[in-house]
Structure 1
Amino acid sequence: MKMCLKILIPIFAFHLILTIVVASDPDPLQDFCIPNPKSTKKDDLPCKNSTAVTADDFVFSGGKSAGPFSESGFATVAANPSLFPGLNTLGMSFVRADFKEGAINPPHVHPRAAEMVYVVQGRVYAGFVDSANRMYAKVIGEGEVMVIPRGLVHFQMNVGKGTATVFGCFNSQNPGTQRMASAIFGSGIKEELLEKAFGLSSKELRRMRRRFES
């Protein structure tokens, strides 16, 4: 019996640690939790009473059309618990992204979620770079899906004719987004360090900062 315990306890402990590491958002403790908009709390809103919940709380219509396009020809519509209450505590969210011809979703990371990119229409060059700087990228078309591992730099570009539309699905209700260029050139990192890191002149660095500072 003691020998069995010596074997089983480490296995159980390893399984528990692995479960914690692999998990994204915490598991819900109830069927659902629709935030109560009448609460005076700013964070961690209490749930509505289930008798006040309706089917509309679990339906999101905002992704039926593209969002406003930026000057670069890229548009997004996000579905997260603040806009789609039914997602709250379920550990998921998604985004609709539209690209005009040649438009890009520049290199970025989602620190708290893996992502699946589903192409609704068009042809999109999509990929990611792993921690050994190996790139995995290809053109994917309508009906195809690419998975992006959590926390890795990834990107998309419309390489087809006309507008391309993709849906990105995340295994977190708050995946976070950090765009590489903005993080480097728009965050106030010391100019001398950036000059040495990228071999940029002061003039080039100022130009990059004007472009990416918020």
Structure 2
Amino acid sequence: MASTTLAMKLFSLLISLFVIVQMAVAGDPDILSDFIVPPNVTVDGNFFTFTGMRFLVGVGPSTTFKASKASLAEFPALNGQSVSIDVLEFPAGSTSPPHTRVRASGLLFLIAGSLEVGFVDTTNKLFTQTLQPGDMFVFPKGLLHFQYNAGTAPAIAIAAFGSANAGLVSLPNTLFTTDIDDNVLALSFKTDVATIQRLKAGLAPKR
């Protein structure tokens, strides 16, 4: 009887350790093939090639903040590969507003210009840095972060993610362009409904 109880405890411990290890290495699910092909798609070199960034070559800097994406939605060959990228263009004075990536860490590589970057951890501690060309900065998975071009020249960066679908959640859009009740937001931000409505109006799509 004692040996049975001990065996059950050891089995439970092994299961617990397995779950913890799986959580520690969690990311996109592993696939059981080399790659995943959508139905009715011919697989050749074209399937593994993404040409959606060609427009960036030889053009002038963007006049507004712009993120050009190569994720699962734009590049189906990434399905199951646990990678994606964004090319980020920052005119002087522009920002990528505070946001999170709920399914992946992000690694930002600055190509040109300078950027103020930062994230806030779960203890509300802010970590910031000023990046120069050639610098990289990591944004831990799920934590609120931002980038801001405080300089006078454009900045260009590449953001790489450990997921084919990193899951962007933009705080301004999530809070002020959805149907969260104005009273809830006013109480949460310790302000009044009129202020919340002005914030919502500023984020409304231009007609």
Q: TM-score, normalised by structure 1?
A: 0.82
Q: Distance in 2 between matches of 1:138 and 1:54?
A: 43
Shift of 1:163: 1.4
Letter in 2 for 1:57: F
Tell me the equivalent position of 1:100: 91
Q: String of CA shifts for 1:58-90, please: whole Å, max 9, x gaps.
A: 2223234189x987x201111012322321211
**Equivalent residue for 1:83?**
74
Gaps of 5+ in 2: none
| Partner Cα separation in structure 2 for residue 147 and residue 109 of structure 1 | 13
SS where residue 58 of structure 1 aligns?
coil
**Aligned-residue identity in percent:** 27
Contact 2:37 2:43 in 1 (8 A): yes
Instruction: Name the structure 1 match of 2:20.
Output: 18
- In the alignment, is the contact (CA less than 8 A) between 1:35 and 1:88 conserved in 2? no
User: What residue is the counterpart of 1:186 in the other structure?
Assistant: 177
Alpha-carbon deviations, 1:91-118, whole Å to 9, x = none? Answer: 2211111000111000001111111111
**Aligned residue identity for 1:12:** L
SS of 2:21's equivalent in the other structure is helix
CA distance in 2, matches of 1:167, 1:191: 36
Give the Å deviation of 1:165: 0.8
Matched pairs, number: 199
Check conservation: 1:187, 1:213, Cα contact below 8 A: no
Q: Secondary structure at the match of 1:55?
A: coil
RMSD between superposed Cα atoms in Å: 2.6
Determine whether 1:164 maps to 2:155.
Answer: yes
- Displacement of 1:10 after TM fit? 5.2
Work out whether residues 116 and 148 of structure 1, in 8 Å CA contact, stay in contact via their aligned partners in 2: yes
Instruction: Look up the match of 2:30.
Output: 27
Question: Match of 1:149?
Answer: 140
What is the TM-score with the length of structure 2 in the denominator? Answer: 0.84
Deviation for aligned residue 1:7: 8.3
> Are 2:45 and 1:55 equivalent residues in the alignment?
yes
Q: Determine the structure 2 residue equivalent to 1:203.
A: 194
